[in-house]
Amino acid sequence: MDYLPLFFNLQGRSVLLIGGGDVGLRKARLLVRAGARIALISHEVHPELEELLQEHQGQILGKDYAPQWLEGQAVVIAATDDQALNEQIHADCVAHNLPINVVDSPALCTFVFPAIVDRSPVVIGITSSGKAPVLARLLRAKLETWIPTRYSDLGQLAARFRDSVKARFSNINQRRKFWENTFQGTVAERVFNGQMQEAEQLLQEQLDASDAAEPVGEVYLVGAGPGDPELLTFKALRLMQQADVVLYDRLVSKEVLDLCRRDAEMIYVGKKRDNHAVPQPDINRLLVEQAQAGHRVVRLKGGDPFVFGRGGEELEELKMAGVPFQVVPGITAANACSAYAGIPLTHRDYAQSVKMVTGQLKNRTSELNFAEMAHPNQTLVFYMGLHTLELIVEGLLENGKPPETLIALVSQGSTPEQRVLTGTLADIVAQQEKAQLPAPAIIIVGEVVALQPQLAWFNTSD
């Protein structure tokens, strides 16, 4: 370890900054955020830096550096392009046992500025020990996306309850367990949703009933997208990694399942046509039972849970049972498969509306309004319709869609196994009989399919 990570408390303390240009300004912005008072030495001062000094009780000591300016300083930062001056400042600081940072000169630093993820009171610093600052910034960018900004609110909530929790639990292990449940449970989720009043009330209730009450469970209805794990939302990933129990469908890819918490109980409740591993009423009952047992339950559905996913039915059951829940949307198959196939669902020249339709026809007879679907200038997307492709084509043709209307089948969209078959209403059934593209697949009907050959980008070969 090249550096020992330390955090300075600079609230109300003076920091000597030598150099008032762009680099000095960047350092000054960080310093005032940490509550420091800046003492500046510089011949020229950036206008914004001058404003910072005025707003945060800083001062300009003079134009030229002298060792006496080190007296009373907590930290020293040299942001000049004068190598000889930088070396002198470094030597003087070492002699006075003062922390010194010479910008972009690791050899002249006794401390370095990390890349910072600020979720105060939670602060994360990342350093490459001055060897690869761009890499440190890239890691910071990743952490910024993984850590919700409301972790700041969660930390502040914990600070308000810290003394109460300490008084309630004399044993450090009891306190640790209480906080672990808080930071990973329903209180934290209320905070992340911006429900601060509810979070504070719930935390107080859990603290008051900590000896007697059973832990409160919750259900997270999460859209897993079409298969590519990189299409998951940040919130979906966070909830998947903290769930105690995961109920998942057949269409959830292995790659997505691998991102769930390793020790979570995994329950398969998938459905195929005419073959339901677990009937829907039993799935509803399982969700209620697992949540009432105090578990955090992720109900993981392929695509989006509210687009032909029966998510509404499951939430109705949870609502009647008094089980709290959240919904995390996913990228539905129409959006993902069309994008990965290079078929825009709307286009100024071809289609001004999109209609999403279930192709799962009851008793193999059509209850769909094909007459409405025959209107021009719209794109039709059929879900779960591969096995009824012939009926769909017949219905469209019988209601006035021209035989030359373009159509595409996108099988296993967004995965490495994706295949796309294009044709017309006149020939697509014969093409599919020969190609035998497997389910799951969506069917796209409309003139936008004409763009597929030139816009296809994923899983193509020369």
Amino acid 368: pLDDT: 83
- Domain spanning 14-113, CATH class: alpha beta
Burial bucket for residue 324 (CB in 10 Å: 0-12, 13-18, 19+): middle
Contacts of 295 (CB under 8 A, 6+ apart): 217, 244, 245
pLDDT digits 0-9 by tens, 322-380: 999 999 999 999 999 999 999 999 999 999 999 999 876 554 445 788 999 988 899 99
- Domain spanning 334-455, CATH class: alpha beta
Of 20, 13, 15, the closest CA to residue 38 belongs to 15
Higher pLDDT, 200 or 171: 200
Would you say residue 243 has pLDDT above 70? yes
The lowest-confidence range among 225-239, 275-289, 290-304 is 275-289
Average confidence (pLDDT) over 382-386: 92
Amino acid 407: pLDDT: 98
> Can the peptide bond before residue 376 be classed as cis, meaning omega within 30 degrees of 0?
no
233 band by pLDDT with thresholds 50, 70 and 90? very high
pLDDT digits 0-9 by tens, 69-121: 999 999 999 999 999 999 999 999 999 999 999 998 989 999 999 999 999 99
Q: Is residue 272 annotated as a catalytic residue, yes or no?
A: no
Q: Is residue 249 annotated as a catalytic residue, yes or no?
A: yes
Give the span between the Cα atoms of 15 and 192, in whole angstroms: 35
CATH number corresponding to 217-331: 3.40.1010.10
214 band by pLDDT with thresholds 50, 70 and 90? low
Give the span between the Cα atoms of 40 and 42, in whole angstroms: 6
Domain map (residue ranges) of the chain = 14-113, 148-215, 217-331, 334-455
Q: Which of 207-216, 370-379, 406-415 has the highest mean pLDDT?
A: 406-415
pLDDT above 90 as % of the chain: 75
Amino acid 461: pLDDT: 61
Higher pLDDT, 307 or 172: 307
What count of other Cβ atoms lies within 10 Å of the Cβ of residue 158?
A: 19
pLDDT digits 0-9 by tens, 252-271: 999 999 999 888 999 999 86
Of 235, 243, 217, 67, the closest CA to residue 145 belongs to 235
Catalytic residue from among 153, 228, 249, 304: 249
Average confidence (pLDDT) over 151-163: 95
pLDDT digits 0-9 by tens, 37-68: 999 999 999 999 999 999 999 999 999 999 99
Q: What mean pLDDT value characterizes the chain?
A: 91
Burial bucket for residue 220 (CB in 10 Å: 0-12, 13-18, 19+): buried
